[in-house]
Amino acid sequence: MRRASYLLLCSLAALPRATARGETLELEVDPARGIDAAERGGKLDPLRTLTFALREAGERGSAVTVRLARGEYVHREGAEPGEAFPIRLPGNLPRVEIAAEPGAVLAGAGDEPLLLLEGAPSGQEIELEVSGLELRGGLAGACLDLAAGASVVAVFEDCLFKDPAGKGLELFLAVGASARVRVFRSTFRGGFGGAALEPSKSTRCDLHVEECAFESIGAYGPGGVLGAGVELHVDPGAILDARILRNRFIGGGAALQLTSAERAEGGPAAGSLNLLFAGNLVRGAPAGAPGASGPVTNALYASLHRHHNLDLTVAQNTFRGIDGRVLFHDNLDALAGGPLPRWTFVNNIAWGIGAGSEIDAEDLPGFPWDWVVRSNILEKSSLGATGVDGNLSLDPLFAGPGDERLGPGSPARDRGDPAFAGFTDLDLAGSCRRAAPECPPPDGIYRIDIGAFEHPGFCDVENVTFVRGDCNRTGTPLTISDPIFAFGVLFLGTAEAPCPDACDANDDGTVDITDGIHVLNFLFLGGRPPALPFELEGRDETQDCLQACAQGS
> Which has more confidence, 255 or 385?
255
- Rounded Cα distance, 356 and 161, in Å: 35
What secondary structure does DSSP assign to 393-422, as a single string?
Answer: -S---EEETTEEEE-TT-TTTT-S-GGG--
Question: Is residue 200 a contact partner of residue 174, using CB atoms and an 8 Å limit?
Answer: yes
Q: By CB neighbour count within 10 A (0-12 exposed, 13-18 middle, 19+ buried), where does 510 fall?
A: middle
pLDDT in the model for residue 264: 65
Q: Is residue 553 part of a domain?
A: yes
Percent of the chain with pLDDT over 90: 58
Does pLDDT of 21 surpass 60?
no
| Pair type for strands 87-88 and 71-73 | unpaired
CA-derived radius of gyration, the chain = 27
* Model confidence pLDDT, tens digit, residues 255-271: 999 998 877 666 566 78
**pLDDT confidence bin for 6, thresholds 50/70/90:** very low
> Which has more confidence, 14 or 535?
535
* DSSP at 491: I
Alpha-carbon distances of 373 from 218, 276, 414, 473, rounded to whole Å: 30, 15, 18, 44
Interval 174-184 mean pLDDT: 95
Angle at 294 between CA 293 and CA 295, to 5 degrees: 160
pLDDT in the model for residue 268: 60
- CATH number of the domain that residue 541 is part of: 1.10.1330.10
Using DSSP's 3-state secondary structure scheme, residue 530 falls into coil
Give start and end residues of each alpha helix (H) in 422-550. Answer: 481-487, 500-503, 513-524
What secondary structure does DSSP assign to 177-223, as a single string?
Answer: -EEEEEEES-EEESSS-SEEEE--TT-EEEEEEES-EEESPPPBSGG
pLDDT in the model for residue 334: 66
Query: What is the 3 state secondary structure string of 311-334?
Result: EEEEECCEEECCCCCCEEECCHHH
Question: Is residue 180 a contact partner of residue 206, using CB atoms and an 8 Å limit?
Answer: yes
Interval 14-25 mean pLDDT: 58
Q: Is residue 491 part of a domain?
A: yes
Would you state the torsion angle of the CA atoms of residues 505, 507, 509, 513, taken in this order, to the nearest 10 degrees? -30
**pLDDT confidence bin for 197, thresholds 50/70/90:** very high
- Rounded Cα distance, 464 and 546, in Å: 13
Domain that holds residue 546: 463-553
pLDDT in the model for residue 13: 45
Q: Is residue 521 part of a domain?
A: yes
Interval 112-125 mean pLDDT: 86
pLDDT in the model for residue 338: 58
Winning range, highest mean pLDDT, from 235-239, 312-316, 388-392, 421-425: 312-316
Does an H or E element contain 385, and which? Answer: helix 382-386
Counted domains in the chain = 1
**pLDDT confidence bin for 552, thresholds 50/70/90:** low
Q: Is residue 543 part of a domain?
A: yes
Q: What are residue 151's DSSP bridge partners?
A: 125, 178
Does pLDDT of 343 surpass 60?
yes
Would you state the torsion angle of the CA atoms of residues 77, 81, 83, 85, taken in this order, to the nearest 10 degrees? 60
**pLDDT confidence bin for 457, thresholds 50/70/90:** confident
pLDDT in the model for residue 202: 87
109-113, 306-310, 359-363: least confidently modelled range: 306-310
pLDDT in the model for residue 118: 87
Cα atoms in the 13 Å half-sphere on the side-chain side of 74? 13
Question: Is residue 224 a contact partner of residue 259, using CB atoms and an 8 Å limit?
Answer: no
> Which has more confidence, 368 or 228?
228
Does pLDDT of 410 surpass 50?
yes
Give start and end residues of each alpha helix (H) in 416-546. Answer: 481-487, 500-503, 513-524
Does pLDDT of 114 surpass 60?
yes
Write down the pTM of the prediction: 0.86
Q: Is residue 98 part of a domain?
A: no
Q: Is residue 525 part of a domain?
A: yes
| Pair type for strands 403-406 and 398-400 | antiparallel
* DSSP at 384: H
Distance in angstroms between the alpha carbons of the first and the last residue of the chain: 49
The whole-angstrom distance between residue 425's C-alpha and the CA centroid of its chain comes to 14
Question: Is residue 119 a contact partner of residue 144, using CB atoms and an 8 Å limit?
Answer: no
- Rounded Cα distance, 66 and 53, in Å: 7
pLDDT in the model for residue 73: 97
Interval 469-487 mean pLDDT: 92
Examine residue 368 and say whether the peptide bond preceding it is cis (omega within 30 degrees of 0): yes
Interval 136-163 mean pLDDT: 95
- Rounded Cα distance, 130 and 137, in Å: 17
> Which has more confidence, 317 or 357?
317
Does pLDDT of 454 surpass 70?
yes
pLDDT in the model for residue 337: 60
pLDDT in the model for residue 8: 40
Angle at 186 between CA 185 and CA 191, to 5 degrees: 155
Interval 246-262 mean pLDDT: 91
Interval 275-300 mean pLDDT: 79
pLDDT in the model for residue 63: 93
Question: Is residue 234 a contact partner of residue 208, using CB atoms and an 8 Å limit?
Answer: no
Nearest to 254 by CA among 279, 218, 293: 218
Where residue 96 falls (left for φ over 0; alpha for ψ -120 to 50; beta otherwise) is beta
Does pLDDT of 362 surpass 70?
yes
Q: Is residue 119 part of a domain?
A: no
pLDDT in the model for residue 330: 87
Does pLDDT of 511 surpass 80?
yes
Does pLDDT of 15 surpass 70?
no
- The amino acid present at 202, given as its one-letter code, is S
Q: Is residue 1 part of a domain?
A: no
Provide the mean pLDDT of the chain: 87
pLDDT in the model for residue 135: 98
| Pair type for strands 435-436 and 458-459 | antiparallel
